[in-house]
């Protein structure tokens, strides 16, 4: 393949791009791949999760602008491009029974209509590969599930000249993946490695919780070696300072253990229009040589 490769990562909120597949994106950027993050919402209903910033009235009153600036910083660190799809954060409903979602939010949009914004972006950027979330959203946040829904519609429709007229020339991506970085094999491997070294593991509660949940194992098809970019991933994640505590659980596993025990990020191949052999170590497997 002679033209420049292009990767689009579709995410629900600012910060998702830095916690899911960030090292993969940085790796591909270093290789000359053009990478675009499509952010569905502004994250304006997200809580301030960093305890050091909780109670800051300016942040509370300007959360949309603050999170946009955080996204700009993370984008620069990762070396990617980024585009907002312009939907409004749905928030994470809590309580029993769950309260209704707020009027006008992303998760309440008509799926086919909402997918039009993503189709337009796909036709403009012309990605060969798209990454998104699985049908559970990775975790059941309504915006993550909606991100999955519009990604699936847009992947199938972007190459069809009869679909979404007026949104640009048709373009058919070749592969679509689900992010599966928070998988059980990785978690178990890191947990056991920490205990074997006499260190405390942050994953004990995760593993106990998984035991009580009847959750099907995902089919991990693609392991992208990207440990040289773990530091860039962490730096981008810390840029989302309203969401991430730099002294929190995200960073409790020493970097040298991460690189030694689990030096990849994982994906599940959901759609492919090219021949490939599983397992893969490259999101562009089957594309580079066509």
Alpha carbons 105 and 77: distance in angstroms, whole number: 29
Is 144 among the annotated ligand-binding positions? yes
| 5 alpha carbon, distance to own chain's centre | 19
b/e map 171-195, b = 16+ CB within 10 Å: bebbbbbbbbbebeebbeebbebbe
Task: State the number of CA atoms in the 13 A half-sphere of 28 facing the CB.
Answer: 26
Q: How big is the CA angle at 110 (ends 112 and 7), to the nearest 5 degrees?
A: 50
SS (H, E, C) 198-267: CCCCCCHHHHHHHHHCCCCCCCCCEEEECHHHHHHHHHHHHHCCCCCCCCCHHHCCCHHHHHHHCCEEEE
- Whether the Cβ atoms of residue 133 and residue 165 lie closer than 8 Å to each other: no
Alpha carbons 43 and 13: distance in angstroms, whole number: 5
Binding residue ranges = 13, 16, 144
Binding residue ranges for Zn(2+) = 13, 16, 144
């Amino acid at each position: 393949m002679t033209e420049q490769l292009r990767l689009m990562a579709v995410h629900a909120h600012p910060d998702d791009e830095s916690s899911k597949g960030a090292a993969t994106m940085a790796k591909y950027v270093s290789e000359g791949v053009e990478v675009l993050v499509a952010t569905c919402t502004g994250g304006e209903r997200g809580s301030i999760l960093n305890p050091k910033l909780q109670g800051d009235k300016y942040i509370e009153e300007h959360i949309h602008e603050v999170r946009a600036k955080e996204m700009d910083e993370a984008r620069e660190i990762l070396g990617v491009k980024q585009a907002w799809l312009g939907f409004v954060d749905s928030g994470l409903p809590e309580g029993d029974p769950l309260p209704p979602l707020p009027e006008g939010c992303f998760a309440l949009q008509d799926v086919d209509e909402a997918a039009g914004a993503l189709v337009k972006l796909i036709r403009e950027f012309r990605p060969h590969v798209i990454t998104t979330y699985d049908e559970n959203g990775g975790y059941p946040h309504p915006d993550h599930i909606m991100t999955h829904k519009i990604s699936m519609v847009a992947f199938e429709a972007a190459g069809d000249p009869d679909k979404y007229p007026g949104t640009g020339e048709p373009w058919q991506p070749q592969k679509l993946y689900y992010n599966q970085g928070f998988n059980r094999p990785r978690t178990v491997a890191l947990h056991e490695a920490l205990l074997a070294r006499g260190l405390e593991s942050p994953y004990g509660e995760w593993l106990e919780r998984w035991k009580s949940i009847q959750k099907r194992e995902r089919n991990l098809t693609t392991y992208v070696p990207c440990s040289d970019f773990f530091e860039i991933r962490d730096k981008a994640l810390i840029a989302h300072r309203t969401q991430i505590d730099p002294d929190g659980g995200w960073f409790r596993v020493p970097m040298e253990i991460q690189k030694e025990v689990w030096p990849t990020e994982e994906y599940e191949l959901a759609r492919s229009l090219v021949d490939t052999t599983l397992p893969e170590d490259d999101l562009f497997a089957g594309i580079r040589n066509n």
